[in-house]
Amino acid sequence: MRQIDLFAAPAGGQLEAELALDDQALQAWRLRVLAYQQPLRQGTPASAAQQANLFETESQTDHRPPDPLTLPAQHLQFWRWPEALNQGAALYYVFDHGLGPERELLLYLGETSQADRRWKGDHDCKDYLAAYGEALVRCGLLPRFSIRFWCDAPTKTRARRQLEQQQIRHWQPPFNKECRQRWQTPFHNQPR
């Protein structure tokens, strides 16, 4: 299946003609992601489902994130606030709340050594969210996004990135590059 590039100008200038993403296709995509993620959050946090490793160090077992929906939600423009609520190393989770309570979609997760600065500059996820938000509006839906930080992440980069990869494998967020093929995500600007 060919992915749609929302950022390329199609021949003839007819963006709408190029976009085959109607409200039914968009809703079906969202519901597929929800069907995968929703059972993961029922019952136990994501980290509890992982098999114990006999060779883990004590510092590794101390850094298991909770269910990301238990973390406080923040507006995506949090970085513009006068004071930073989050400092230091963190995993962060970007959610779509448009399907309603207890039907949130985890769209992206990442790691950072500076939670107060990560979202300030360029970030591919911002582009995906902009394209996704435009697609939602085009289909008559209201974009409702939030970001959540888990600031107890390991301070060492390698340990934090390993934890990020474990979380990506578990949650399969569609805007992470590791998961795009699975979800056939039409909301990115990467060449095919």
pLDDT in tens, 23-63: 898 999 999 999 999 999 864 444 444 444 444 444 444 56
Residue 12: inside a domain, yes or no? no
Q: Is the pLDDT of residue 20 over 80?
A: no
User: Length of the chain, please?
Assistant: 192
For residue 175, what pLDDT is reported?
Answer: 93
CB 128 within 8 A of CB 190: no
Rounded to an integer, what distance in angstroms lies between the CA atom of residue 91 and that of residue 109?
A: 7
Instruction: Report the chain's mean pLDDT, rounded to a whole number.
Output: 78
Give a yes or no: residue 146 inside a domain.
Answer: yes
Domain limits for position 125: 21-46+57-183
For residue 36, being part of any structural domain is answered with yes
Number of domains in the chain: 1
Contact residues for 38 (Cβ-Cβ < 8 A; gap 6+)? 102, 103
Q: What is residue 188's predicted lDDT score, i.e. its pLDDT?
A: 54
Main-chain phi, psi angles of 147, to 5 degrees:
-130, 145
**SS3 of 150, please?**
strand
The Cα 156–Cα 150 span in angstroms is: 15
In a domain, 16, yes or no: no
- The answer to whether position 74 is within a domain reads yes
